[in-house]
Structure 1
Amino acid sequence: MTALDLIDRKIVAELMEDATQPIARIADRAGLSQTPAWKRIQKLETTGVITRRVALADPAKLGFGLTVFVGIEAPDHSAEWREAFLAAVESIPEIMESWRMAGEMDYLLRVAVPDMAAYDGLYKRLTDAVAIKNVTSHFAMERMKFTTAYPVDVKNR
């Protein structure tokens, strides 16, 4: 784990809030001039603290009005099954996230599709691609909170 000082944490917090803001603004908020701020951003990217800078989009405005959380129970836990499952998940772009879990379900997927018919098609593609013991689907009715920004401590410790 990379230890971040207060200035690094401020820079990361600013970038998580809005990665398009000018370097001058980020530098000002971190208490630096532009060149040292830019060098720190470069180091944060090189060390993998900052993994990507992306635009966030409204799924409904892109035609993805249905979010489904899908619990998967694996029929076995072999390396072969995991590799086949990963290949299937990676081949389906509507699967936005995939997590290996501890507890009742083995995997949790976050899926974005236009509607129920599209989800049914995705379900069939996934279950045709790899053997699955059990699939449990939970349909989101309303997104009440959403953020991609981690609660980075930006206070001096």
Structure 2
Amino acid sequence: MAAPKIDAVDVKLLALLQRSADRHLAELAEAVGLSQTPCWRRVQRLRQDGVITANVALLDRAKINLGVTVFVSIRTNVHTPAWFERFKATIDLIPEVVEFYRMSGDVDYMLRVVVPDIAAYDRVYKRLIQDTQLSDVNSSFAMEQLKYTTALPLSYVG
């Protein structure tokens, strides 16, 4: 499927919505130089085209007792579809895993895990290795978050 056509006005709308998705339509329309109806249609088209995938509330992890971030690199010697499906099902059942990637290079998979403390991570680790054959699990605890954003760069659109 071809990428949706996105023009400069769409890019402005996306930039505004990435910073705050609860902006009023009138505010969005004024910021991009449109009346409300064409602005609303553009936002709806961006949703229908799958450019906007969700509107969510971002939470302060520290205020909900999830102040520890752990990056987990995983290696395995098994690379069968059946093994992967079982591994993915295990990961899907662990809510503390907030990101899950298949990697190139020396590491097969990378996880980002959020927990309140090391003891909670140990429980996640035990669930992770319980039903899955892994050859190496390496955990790195983030000491300080220096940059975090959910906003994607829009300079590549076009």
Instruction: Give the TM-score normalised by the residue count of structure 2.
Output: 0.94
2:139 aligns to what?
A: 137
- Quote the RMSD (CA, aligned, Å): 1.3
1:100-153 Cα deviation digits (max 9, x unpaired): 111110111000001000000000001002111110111001100010001213
Deviation at 1:76, TM superposition (A): 1.3
Any idea what SS the aligned residue of 1:110 has? Answer: strand
Q: Aligned residues, how many?
A: 155
Instruction: Tell me how far apart the structure 1 counterparts of residues 23 and 82 of structure 2 sit (CA, whole Å).
Output: 45
Any idea what SS the aligned residue of 1:122 has? Answer: helix
Instruction: Tell me how far apart the structure 2 counterparts of residues 23 and 149 of structure 1 sit (CA, whole Å).
Output: 20
Identity %: 47
1:79 partner letter: P
Deviation at 1:93, TM superposition (A): 0.2
Task: Find runs of 4+ consecutive structure 1 residues off by over 3 angstroms.
Answer: none
Instruction: Tell me how far apart the structure 1 counterparts of residues 149 and 32 of structure 2 sit (CA, whole Å).
Output: 22
Instruction: Tell me how far apart the structure 1 counterparts of residues 135 and 30 of structure 2 sit (CA, whole Å).
Output: 54
Match of 2:22 among 20, 23, 39: 20
Moved more, 107-116 or 25-34: 25-34
Q: Does residue 76 in structure 1 map to residue 78 in structure 2?
A: yes
1:14-33 Cα deviation digits (max 9, x unpaired): 10010011111111111111
Q: Map 1:21-100; keep pairs closer than 5 Å.
A: 21-100=23-102
Instruction: Give the TM-score normalised by the residue count of structure 1.
Output: 0.95
